[in-house]
A and B are shown apart, each in its own frame.
Chain A
Amino acid sequence: EPEVTQTPSHQVTQMGQEVILRCVPISNHLYFYWYRQILGQKVEFLVSFYNNEISEKSEIFDDQFSVERPDGSNFTLKIRSTKLEDSAMYFCASRKRREGDTQYFGPGTRLTVL
């Protein structure tokens, strides 16, 4: 069964460094999302992406964040200058419009900022 994949599973970085989190959505899906979940807190929407552009973003998704679909398969989240409070699980999700609203989540990347 097709699934969303994410790499790396765990990323450790120093405060102020740039990180790129990678996702491969399900191949025939058209809509892509990034969420984060700080330990013990709720899943929070960051950004949605469709047709090679951001369709919506939350207040969390400030100028230090960016997303890209550099080729036909990968979907990346870049954090330019990481802060301690960026430590969280980052989930990628994708959706195929014709199947309605169901989003399928990847396994997540645990980001630890030291």
Chain B
Amino acid sequence: QKEVEQNSGPLSVPEGAIASLNCTYSDRGSQSFFWYRQYSGKSPELIMFIYSNGDKEDGRFTAQLNKASQYVSLLIRDSQPSDSATYLCAVNLYSGGYQKVTFGIGTKLQVIP
């Protein structure tokens, strides 16, 4: 069973702090990794994607990937109340040229003003 595991939270951080969101996955063949943000009742919105081991930074967001540990994380610096949402980790596996994306349950982030 290919799984993506996340702590459902809620994770509460004060405004201005760093929020750290973690995700583990079970399929070693997974090739690309995504973080989506989902506000209540809305569709997932892509925040970042990462393919290679290491860090990838985009503004206040940093994605970190460690394929040996099957671990991917998202850091949000200078957290804002508007960052309060559920963050979905998604893992992509190519099979026969086609893409299949598996989502985690999502971590609910609350940024306290």
Chain A residues whose C-beta falls within 8 Å of the C-beta of B88 in the assembled complex: 42-43
Contact B100 A45 (CB under 8 A): yes
Within 8 Å of chain A (Cβ to Cβ): is B102?
yes
Per-position contact with B for A94-111: 1 when CB-CB < 8 Å, else 0? 010000111111111000
Contact A102 B99 (CB under 8 A): no
CB distance from A82 to the nearest CB of B (A): 21
Contact of B98 among A44, A48, A102, A107 (CB under 8 A): A48
Contact of B101 among A45, A50, A108 (CB under 8 A): A45
Q: How many residues of A contact B (CB 8 A)?
A: 24
Cα separation A44 to B100 with both chains bound (whole Å): 11
Indicate whether A48 sits within 8 Å of B44 (C-beta atoms), given known contacts A42-B106, A101-B92.
no
Cα separation A101 to B91 with both chains bound (whole Å): 11
Chain B residues whose C-beta falls within 8 Å of the C-beta of A95 in the assembled complex: 99
The interface residues of chain B, by DSSP majority, are classed as strand
Within 8 Å of chain B (Cβ to Cβ): is A28?
no
Within 8 Å of chain A (Cβ to Cβ): is B75?
no
Within 8 Å of chain B (Cβ to Cβ): is A31?
yes
Within 8 Å of chain A (Cβ to Cβ): is B32?
yes
Contact of A42 among B32, B95, B96, B104 (CB under 8 A): B104
Which chain A residue shows the least CB distance to B46?
Answer: A102
Per-position contact with A for B3-40: 1 when CB-CB < 8 Å, else 0? 00000000000000000000000000000101010000
Which chain B residue shows the least CB distance to A105?
Answer: B43
Within 8 Å of chain A (Cβ to Cβ): is B61?
no
Contact of A31 among B99, B102, B103, B106 (CB under 8 A): B99
Cα separation A89 to B103 with both chains bound (whole Å): 15
Chain B residues whose C-beta falls within 8 Å of the C-beta of A31 in the assembled complex: 99
Contact B105 A41 (CB under 8 A): yes
Cα separation A100 to B92 with both chains bound (whole Å): 11
Per-position contact with B for A45-56: 1 when CB-CB < 8 Å, else 0? 100101000011
State the B residues within 8 Å of A (CB). Answer: 32, 34, 36, 42-46, 49, 88, 90, 92, 95-96, 98-106
